[in-house]
Amino acid sequence: MNPSKVRREAVRRLTDLPNVGPATAADLRLLGITRPADLAEADPFVLYRTLCERTGARQDPCVLDVFMSLTDFAAGGAARPWWDYTAERKRRYGSRLRDPAAG
């Protein structure tokens, strides 16, 4: 859902979360996330790496931005567009994303 339309009190389904549409909801379900509350203790990098492993493909780094936005929202942060997290992702995980063996 577009972050500007998210109302925290109305979040019930994965697609009620900021930056989540049907494809991202399917990715989250593949990771065992079936409801928004499942993201409360999640690590965005672990979610990203696990998705890469389960799909057998390196996911676009923007997927990690989305996961960062979701875990931040689940921790009480504001609903923000995924691209707000790009610079932080590059600072935190840049070299780990370039090296497939890094974890």
pLDDT digits (tens, 9 = 90+) for 32-43: 999 999 999 999
pLDDT value at 24 more than 80: yes
Backbone angles phi, psi at 35, to 5 degrees: -145, 155
Q: What's the maximum distance between 2 C-alpha atoms anywhere in the chain?
A: 40
**Could you read off the pLDDT of 64-94 as tens digits, one per residue?**
999 999 999 999 999 999 999 999 999 998 8
What's the pTM value of the predicted model, to 2 decimals?
Answer: 0.92
For the chain, give every domain's residue range. Answer: 3-98
CATH class of 3-98: mainly alpha
* CA dist., res. 50 & res. 32, Å (int): 11
pLDDT value at 31 more than 60: yes
